[in-house]
Amino acid sequence: MDEYSEITELKSLNNNLIPQLPKKVKGFRYNRSDLSPGILHIGVGNFHRAHQAWYIHRLFEEGLNFDWAIVGGGVCAFDKIQREKLKKQDFLSTLIELDPSGTSAEVIGSIIDYVEVEETNQALIKAMVSPEIRIVSLTVTEGGYYMNTTSKDFNIDHPDIKKDIENPTSPRTVFGVMVEALRLRRQLGYGPVTGLCCDNLEKNGVVLHRAVTKLAEQIDPDLAEWISENCSFPCSMVDCIVPSTGAYELELVQAYSLNDNVPVTHENFRQWVIEDDFCAGRPDLEKVGVIFTKKVHYYETMKIRLLNGGHQIIANVGELLSLVTISDCMQDTRIASLFVKILSEEIAPHVDSVPNKTPAEYIELIQKRFSNPTVVDTTRRVAFDGSSRHPGFLVPSINKAVETGSSISGLALAEAIWARMCEGTREDGSKIEPNDPNWFDLERTARVAKEKPSAWLDQRQYYGHLNSNKIFSDTFANWLRKIWNSGVEAAIDDYLQ
């Protein structure tokens, strides 16, 4: 961009800068010294700051709910690094909205602290026990819930969970932290909290409730019963496309004369739908556009199966064809046609409408969102952790289609494309670097599946009993052979014809 050459001095983002932000950057009117915590959020990545933290920021801008500020927390190495970066800028974040008509920037101040990240998580437990905290919210990725992807059961045999059971006062996982903090809150008379899952999981509140109570049952059955009777775990649907931060995003924020080491870019769309079940109160989020409804499931099913499922379809193809971004994929007429056909003919028939939006209208909306060229959302980011995302986003649609006897050809093709991608090379011969927690197992199985396609569907942890369905397994096998023999583009052309 030409404007980079005009930058003479970058201004470091901190509290002192807010009254004198660069002219093109929107600040805020509230005084952060008036804020006090009400939410402890685990997983302060880009999505949280572009979504939940922004909604709380908007409340503060309206002069509302100053006792609902956010304290960040985490249990991973990423969280430790993130905390140090945010602490240097007083936990402020620059959000850059990527509208096709032009970008805009604003600074938000709704995160007021970030708990020190320790191996034993004592500081995080202490923060969660604080009576000021009434909501514990999470964005820890779909694969972070120790859930068997087919049975949906909580995996109490996982080594991390076993360690928490053996050492409940110095837990390793966020769920162990929650159980220990709730034990102390009950003991001290501080009462329950609401656990608010903000990850892309169907019935995500149920998933979080199950994780916390199943772990608690192994440690203290009476505590597990108290949690179930007193705490609440509302389901929610969150939606905003938020790329990861790299060189492009750092250059974008510098174009606004700001020095922010962790800026966030996001599309010009947000949605948050929540079940209104908060045991210890909540902020007035409906006043800033959040939808509260008893029918969250309809919204989350539409979003997860169409948007998130559609993301996997095009990202896997894009990775194989060396396309860098999702918008690059949507510019390819072959991939865009594949996207529309599978979603319209094989997924949408099993998705209900929500108020003011049919599945067909939603597909049209996400076509436009995915095609936004200013959103540099990489195929690699979207294709990450397919071993959680395919079972969560596409397999439910396959199961529904099999159950009803409807078309599964495109969905089988999508799974064959994932299997081909996991072999680890693109069609131009370049190497795909590991991009999944289970990458090496997937890669090994994908190479076996090249000669024996059924080996891929034999992974019951992802597909359950789908391999026993002859129509689906035969269709999958035919597509995988076609891809290996003639290439992914030829397979897509056959499907489209």
Same structural domain, 259 and 307: no
C-alpha to C-alpha distances, 28 to 61, 93, 269, 434, 447, nearest whole angstrom: 7, 12, 20, 41, 54
Give the per-residue pLDDT at 148.
82
340 and 267 together in one domain:
no
Q: State the average pLDDT over residues 378-397.
A: 96
φ/ψ region of 272 (left if φ > 0, alpha if ψ in -120 to 50, else beta) reads: beta
6, with CB counted inside 10 A (0-12, 13-18, 19+), is: exposed
* Torsion angle, alpha carbons of 279, 282, 286, 287, to 10: 160
Strands 93-99, 102-108: pairing kind: antiparallel
Q: Give the CA angle between residues 417, 421, 422 to the nearest 5°.
A: 120
pTM: 0.93
Given 294, 324, 342, the domain boundary residue is 294
> Distance between CA atoms of 60 and 109, rounded to whole angstroms?
9
What are 126-142's pLDDT values in tens digits?
999 999 999 999 999 99
Nearest to 233 by CA among 279, 273, 291, 281: 279
Tell whether 327 and 263 lie within a shared domain. no
Q: Are residues 253 and 325 in the same domain?
A: no
Give the percent of the chain with pLDDT over 90: 96
Tokens 């708990």 sit at which residue?
115
Residue with tokens 């790329």: 243
> Tell me, what's the pLDDT at 3?
43
Q: What is the pLDDT of residues 352-384, one digit of tens each?
A: 999 999 999 999 999 999 999 999 999 999 999
Same domain, 290 and 302: no
Whether 149 shows a pLDDT value over 80: the answer reads no
Q: 378 to each of 32, 94, 127, 450, how far by Cα in Å?
A: 35, 21, 35, 27
User: 205: domain CATH number?
Assistant: 3.40.50.720
43 and 79 in contact (C-beta within 8 Å)? yes
Torsions phi, psi for 355 (to 5 deg): -50, 125
Output the pLDDT for position 151.
Answer: 76
109 contacts 171 by C-beta, under 8 angstroms: no
Q: What is the mean pLDDT of residues 27-39?
A: 97
Same domain, 276 and 323: no
Name the pLDDT band for 9 (thresholds 50, 70, 90).
Answer: confident
For residue 484, the enclosing domain spans 297-496
Residues 280 and 307 in one domain: no
* Model pLDDT for residues 49-91, shown as the tens digit of each residue: 999 999 999 999 999 999 999 999 999 999 999 999 999 999 9
**pLDDT tens sequence across 456-469:** 999 999 999 999 99
> Is the pLDDT reported for residue 294 higher than 60?
yes
User: Which of 294, 322, 346 delimits the end of a domain?
Assistant: 294
Q: Are residues 280 and 400 in the same domain?
A: no
Regarding whether 313 and 166 lie in a shared domain, the answer is no
- Are 248 and 370 in a shared domain? no
Q: Is the pLDDT of residue 265 over 60?
A: yes
Average pLDDT score over residue span 200-227: 97
pLDDT the model gives residue 7: 47
In the block, tokens 């059961």 appear at: 153
pLDDT over threshold 80, residue 388: yes
**Cα–Cα distance measured from residue 147 to residue 154, given in angstroms and rounded to the nearest whole number:** 5
- 408 contacts 346 by C-beta, under 8 angstroms: yes
The pLDDT, as a whole number, for residue 150 is: 72
How far apart, in whole angstroms, are the C-alpha atoms of residue 357 and residue 275? Answer: 19
Q: What is the mean pLDDT of the chain?
A: 96
| Domain-terminating residue out of 244, 269, 294 | 294
Please report the pLDDT score of residue 8 as a whole number: 53
Q: Give the pair of three-digit tokens for residue 116.
A: 């020190």
- Residue 156 — pLDDT band, cuts 50, 70, 90? very high
Q: Tell me what pLDDT residue 1 has.
A: 41
Partners of 135 in the β-ladder? 39, 194
Of 367, 302, 282, the closest CA to residue 329 belongs to 367
Residue reference for tokens 């608690």 = 216
Residues 325, 453 within the same domain: yes
Residue 4: pLDDT above 60? no
The count of domains in the chain is: 2
Of residues 345, 179, 200, the one with CA closest to residue 271: 200
Regarding whether 89 and 129 lie in a shared domain, the answer is: yes
Cβ-contact 253, 94 below 8 angstroms: yes
